[in-house]
Amino acid sequence: MQNPYEILGIKEGASEKEIKEAYREQVKKYHPDKHQDNPLYELAEEKLREINEAYEYLMKNHEKRSNRGYSKSSSGAQSRNPEFIEIRRMIDSGNILGAEAALNRISTKTAEWYFLSGMLSLRKGWYDDAVSHVQTALSMDPSNIEYRNAMNSIMASGSGYRTAAYGRGYVSNDDLCRMMQCYCCADTLCDCI
């Protein structure tokens, strides 16, 4: 998910009242009923889903946030610090190298560290690493809904990839590939080619 504050169009650290007002304004603006007979209907529907997710996330974490800018997990341990917030921004903006360098500077590997490492791996296209890191984060903080949703999303997208890729590879029905395989075999058996 993008930065929930940006989605609602408010600055970080906004009060609960500001979050609710921004949410209402965004819902009025993007409600699908308003765009019923419009080609932008699906876009408005998707935008509304993002708005709802951002609102849920902010309201859920609003009580947990302290004035120092990080949230506390249910166990009371620090789960978000300013470094992690910056790493999230870098990952969201596509600054993969910067996010990776920042993660590598952090010596204590918390659940959030593993989660962000998994998201970074996913952005790099390293599916198995992403799954492994997010599973580690989830095992360290099983009550974290964000980690669970990310894992479900990764698994859902990965199953489609693996299903589509099954049976592909060296063996192919392509005539050119079959011809090249025969040529290579013939070349190894006979010095005449």
Provide the residue ranges of all domains of the chain, joining segments of one domain with +. Answer: 4-62, 67-193
Residue corresponding to tokens 């090249």: 180
pLDDT for 166:
46
Radius of gyration from C-alpha coordinates of the chain: 23
pLDDT for 136:
93
pLDDT for 73:
39
* Cβ pair 114, 176 in contact under 8 A: no
pLDDT for 43:
83
Architecture of the domain whose range is 67-193: Alpha Horseshoe (1.25)
Give Cβ neighbours of residue 1 (< 8 Å, ≥ 6 apart): 7, 50, 53, 54, 57, 146
What are the tokens at 102?
């920042």
What predicted TM-score, i.e. pTM, was given to this entire model?
0.45
SS3 call for 181: helix
Walking along the chain (193 residues) 10 residues at a time, the average pLDDT comes out as 82 85 87 75 83 83 46 40 85 87 89 91 86 91 87 72 46 64 72 61
CATH 3.40.50.1000 assigned to domain 4-62? The reply is no
